[in-house]
Amino acid sequence: MTRVACIGECMIELSAAAGGLLSRGYGGDTLNTAVYLARLGVAVDYVTALGDDPWSDEMVHAWRTEGVGTDLVVRVPGRLPGLYLISTDETGQRRFHYWRDSAPARQLFELPETDGIATALTGYDAIYFSGISLSLYGESGRERLFDVLDRARTLGRRIVFDTNFRSRGWPDKAQAKVAYRAALRRADLIMASTEDLDLLFSDGGLAELPAENPRIEVVLKLAQPGVRIFYDGREQTIATEEVAGVVDTTAAGDSFAAAYLAARLAGADPAAAARCGHCLAGAVVCHRGAIIPRTAMPDGSSIQILTGEQS
């Protein structure tokens, strides 16, 4: 069975509820992707560090309930996970407010357990991480991560990088550009967006993508509904319709990435995988919070249906 490792951070999530109250959940870009991968039948483990507090216990229990493996979750005594608050406007666009500077996930590649994690990661078929993952670690932590990715690639593992860029996670753009270029050089599948590239690289963002390399698969989310896919010397655009009833765009990209990757790992071609991503993301944005109820998962996002939908 194909096994995927998702690296990053999960935080306590607070979102607005009725009467000015806050609803508590959990979320983080790569964790969201891991949960949706598990729901789509992919064997996936989450790789992070948490505290030894009740909220961390709750998260680990919830992940296991979702089918996400937790063997590579480090528990750091005396520490607490990060926290973020979501506010949304009338169109469903969201803003994030973070309290995470001392979260243990930031030290994942500087802990006594790091050597064991590094060794374990090279045994997965695919390793998924994001630009937010990169922003967690200092320079030495990122170098350790890149060393792991290099070793994994020599063993034939697939490296998947999502460009998810949040400027507030970086001390300056120059440092972020160095880290992103290092990640892009190591990726076999790149999940990018014009928004991320414009924010980080301005008008030169598209030139940073190895779109002309036929061995690298690039999925570029566009400003209008749809994606451009570059792979095997071909370029194709897979459009989708605007979603009616959007209430919260949190995890739209994360769920798209999960469905796309799940379909590709199951044998679907890129066009079918993109339709899978559009289908799941379209359902996610119609619910509040990063992780939608299981009952809200669309039938069309099942692996059985999608792998039969070859274009």
162, 172, 254, 299: the active-site residue:
254
Separation of alpha carbons 275 and 281, rounded Å: 10
Q: What is the CB-side half-sphere exposure of residue 281 using CA atoms within 13 A? A: 27
Say if CB 123 and CB 151 are below 8 A apart.
no
β-strands 158-162, 189-193 pairing: parallel
Separation of alpha carbons 10 and 30, rounded Å: 8
Which of 52-57's residues contact partners 24+ apart within 8 Å by CB, and which partners?
A: 52/76, 52/77, 52/78, 52/79, 53/79, 53/80, 53/81, 55/12, 55/80, 55/81, 56/80, 56/81
For residue 25, report the phi and psi dihedrals to the nearest 5 degrees: -145, -145
- 254 catalytically annotated: yes
| Residues assigned a catalytic role | 254
